[in-house]
Structure formats: C-alpha cells, structure tokens
Amino acid sequence: MSGTLYLIPNTLGESEGDADPLAAVLPQTVRTRAAGLRYYIGENAKSTRAFLKKVGTEQPIQAIEIRELNVNTPPGEVDKLLEPVLAGTDAGLVSEAGCPAVADPGALLVRRAHERGVKVVPLVGPSSILLALMASGLNGQSFAFHGYLPVDAGERAKRLRELEQQSRKSKQTQIFIETPYRNRALLDTLLSTCAPSTLVCVAADLTLPTEIVASRTVSAWKKAPPLDLQKRPAIFLLLAV
C-alpha cells in the first residue's frame, strides 16, 4: 500500500527577531504532521532543511531524506521522487514560500501522484495569491492568476493591455507576480498602460509586520506617494471597471 503525499505550506517570509515564524501562519496540527515525516521533496535541499529546523522534527534532520524538485528537474525524474511513496513512505512536498503546487514546480509531482493512485492531502497555510485577493476589494467571484508577465517592456505593456481588456469584458480580476527587483518597473508599466478608472491592487510582504495592501484606481495611484517595493515579494491585481 502506498504512502500519502502531504502538501505542506511554508511561510511567506520572515521578520528579524521572530522567535517562532511559523506560529502565525501554520496551525499546530500542520506543524505536528510536518514534524513527523521522514521524506521530503522541496525546491532546494538547504532551504527545506531550514524549514524543518523551524518546524522541529521528531527525527534528527540528518536522518530525513530530502530530494529536490525545481524548474531544472527533468520531467522523467519526477516518477523517481514518488518511488518511496509508492513503497509505503509518507512524504511532504514543501514550497519555497506559501502553498506547494501553486505557482510552484511541485504541481507536476502532484499530478503524477494522482495518476499513480497516491493519496494527496493539502494542508492549511498561507497563499499569497488568495490573501491578496481577499484584501484587494476586487472581484473575488471571478479571477485568474497568470504568474509572471514578460520581462521585455514592450511585451509586458502589450500583455497588460490584453489582461485589462479581458478583465473589462468578463469583469474578472487579473492576478500576476514579478521578481521583487522588477516590482517598480511593473507598477510603472501598469500605471502608464491601463485606463485611469482601472483598479490596481498591490499586496507586499503579506503576513509580515511590514505588510502593505493598497487598492486604488490608476488615476489615484498616479497622485499617491511612491510605494517602496524594493526587494519585497508582491502580488499585483487589476480589475477594469
């Protein structure tokens, strides 16, 4: 009988001096489950060990098997990651931040687990995408997440115009992210591309003491003081009204 694949959320970041960074975002039942697993799959072995150190494992961390699954993992290697689970070992899939398999390479592993008849159990934890949508005031009945937009400035502006048109047509909230050091460039493109009445929300450092969530029309954003987004994980949302 095969084991179970547990999807274990991580924190969205840490603040200096936080003695227990998991306490505010992971229920004790999730932490207990995570502490008892002896096989883990994560994007990076070093950061996975750091997560387990915060969890406080029942076994020494050195005794826990950790394998990597990231954008460089060949698709053919994914089945090998499931071999211990198919042999009866419970496993934990952990993301670098937030929920596994959401804007995360772990989705392929979860798909293969279903195809191989492995039980998949999602555990409760923070999703920056949903937290941003909850706090935005934009349409939570219909929304779409698009991941990263093009890096090229011209292509990025073109894509934003397409998303704004789609939002206006379907009254749908459009959600996307950017590498933190390009946050400002993305916001500038949003404000120079979208219509003055389009609603734009920026949610940065979610769940942290430095958290910021701001929703304004494009015209109001242009009049507001500049927002410091340097090196801060952020979610961007727009709704054309």
Q: Are residues 181 and 117 in the same domain?
A: no
Q: Which domain holds residue 188?
A: 128-239
Q: Which residue spans within 25-124 are E strands per DSSP?
A: 39-42, 65-68, 91-94, 119-122
Q: Are residues 75 and 185 in the same domain?
A: no
Alpha-carbon gap, residue 99 to 127, rounded angstroms: 6
Q: Are residues 58 and 134 in the same domain?
A: no
The pLDDT of residue 173 is above 90: yes
The last residue of one of the domains, among 67, 90, 122, is 122
The pLDDT of residue 15 is above 80: no
187-205 pLDDT tens trace:
999 999 999 999 999 999 9
The pLDDT of residue 47 is above 70: yes
Q: What is the pLDDT of residue 13?
A: 87
What value does the mean pLDDT of the chain take? 95
Beta-carbon contacts of 146 under 8 Å, excluding residues fewer than 6 positions away, are 163, 174, 175, 176
Count of domains forming the chain: 2
Contact between 162 and 131 under an 8 Å Cβ cutoff? The reply is no
135-161 pLDDT tens trace:
999 999 999 999 999 999 999 999 999
Q: What is the pLDDT of residue 117?
A: 96
67-96 pLDDT tens trace:
999 999 998 899 999 999 999 999 999 999
Q: What is the pLDDT of residue 17?
A: 62
H/E stretch holding 186 reads helix 183-193
Q: Tell me the CATH number at 209.
A: 3.30.950.10
Q: Are residues 36 and 105 in the same domain?
A: yes
The last residue of one of the domains, among 88, 122, 156, is 122
